[in-house]
Chain A
Amino acid sequence: MRAQIANYTLSKNDAAQKEFRRKILRNIIVYLSLALYTVFLFFPFLIVIITSFTTRQELADATGFVWIPQGSLEGYRILFTNDPNAVNGIPSLLIGFFNTMWQAILPTVCGLAVSGLAAYAYAKYDFPGKNKFFAGNLLLMTIPLSAGMASYLFYAGIGWTMGTASVLPLIIPGLFGSAGTIFFIYPYIKALPDGVVEAAKIDGMGFFGIFFHIILPLAKPVFLAQFLFGFVGCYNNYSGALLYLMSQKQLWPLQLALQQITEFIGTRYTNAQCAAALISMLPLLILYAFVQKFFIEGITSGSVKG
Chain B
Amino acid sequence: MDALREEVFSDKTQRSEVRKAPQNKKKFRKEWLCCWIVVALPFIGYIIFNAFPIGISIVSMFTDIEHNQISTMTWNNFAHFKAFFHDAKFLHSLGITFWLTTAQFVCLGIALLIATLLNSNLPGTKLMRTLYFIPYICSTVAVSIMWGWIFGSGKAGVLNSFFGTEIEWTQEAKYITWCVYFVILWQAPSYGIVMLTAALRGVDSTLYEAAKIDGANTWKMYTKITLPQIAPMILFLALAGWQGGLATFDAVKVLAPLTWSGTAGPENMGLTTSYYIYIQGVNFSHMDYASVMQWAMCIITFIGSYIFLRLRKRTEENL
| A64, B163: Cα distance in complex, Å | 10
Does A193 sit at the interface, judged by CB under 8 A? no
Does B104 sit at the interface, judged by CB under 8 A? no
B134 proximity list for chain A (CB < 8 A): 41, 285, 288
Contacts A44-B186, A127-B36, A281-B142 given: A136-B114 contact, CB under 8 Å?
A: no
B257 touches A296 (CB 8 A): no
B278 proximity list for chain A (CB < 8 A): 149, 239, 242-243
When A and B form their complex, what is the total count of cross-chain residue pairs whose Cβ atoms lie within 8 Å? 304
Contact with A along B32-62 (1 / 0, CB 8 A): 1011101111111110111011101100100
In the complex, how many angstroms separate the beta carbon of B295 from the nearest chain A beta carbon? 8
Q: Which of B54, B65, B202, B274 has the largest number of chain A CB atoms within 10 A?
A: B54
| A284, B118: Cα distance in complex, Å | 25
- Closest residue to A181 on the B side, CB-wise? B42
A118 touches B41 (CB 8 A): yes
Q: Which of B77-85, B146-154, B205-213, B262-270 contacts A (4 or more CB under 8 A)?
A: B146-154
Contacts A33-B117, A238-B139, A280-B142 given: A27-B122 contact, CB under 8 Å?
A: yes
In the complex, how many angstroms separate the beta carbon of A139 from the nearest chain B beta carbon? 10
Does A290 sit at the interface, judged by CB under 8 A? no
Q: Which of A51, A152, A280 has the largest number of chain B CB atoms within 10 A?
A: A152
A172 proximity list for chain B (CB < 8 A): 49
Does A164 sit at the interface, judged by CB under 8 A? no
B194 touches A258 (CB 8 A): no
In the complex, how many angstroms separate the beta carbon of B313 from the nearest chain A beta carbon? 10
A157 touches B39 (CB 8 A): no
In the complex, how many angstroms separate the beta carbon of B50 from the nearest chain A beta carbon? 6
What are 18 contact pairs spanning A and B, CB under 8 A?
A31-B122, A38-B132, A47-B150, A65-B158, A118-B42, A126-B15, A149-B277, A149-B287, A152-B282, A238-B140, A259-B254, A263-B254, A274-B146, A284-B137, A288-B134, A288-B137, A299-B194, A304-B198
| B8-30 with Cβ < 8 A to chain A | 8-9, 11-12, 15, 26, 30
Does A135 sit at the interface, judged by CB under 8 A? yes
In the complex, how many angstroms separate the beta carbon of A226 from the nearest chain B beta carbon? 14
Q: Which of B93-101, B123-131, B173-181, B219-227 contacts A (4 or more CB under 8 A)?
A: B123-131
A34 touches B145 (CB 8 A): no
The DSSP consensus for interface residues of chain A is helix
Does A200 sit at the interface, judged by CB under 8 A? no
- Closest residue to B198 on the A side, CB-wise? A300
A122 proximity list for chain B (CB < 8 A): 8, 39
B5 proximity list for chain A (CB < 8 A): 134-135, 138
Assign chain B's interface to a size class.
35 or more
B8 touches A134 (CB 8 A): yes
- Closest residue to B46 on the A side, CB-wise? A140
Chain A contact residue count (CB 8 A cutoff): 107
Does B70 sit at the interface, judged by CB under 8 A? yes
A306 proximity list for chain B (CB < 8 A): 232-233, 236, 316
A128 proximity list for chain B (CB < 8 A): 26, 32
- Closest residue to A114 on the B side, CB-wise? B41
| A63, B50: Cα distance in complex, Å | 54
| A50, B5: Cα distance in complex, Å | 55
- Closest residue to A201 on the B side, CB-wise? B31
Point out the residue from B36, B39, B132, B150 that lies within 8 Å of A41, measured CB to CB. Answer: B132
B45 touches A173 (CB 8 A): yes
B53 touches A147 (CB 8 A): yes
B186 touches A40 (CB 8 A): yes
Does B109 sit at the interface, judged by CB under 8 A? no
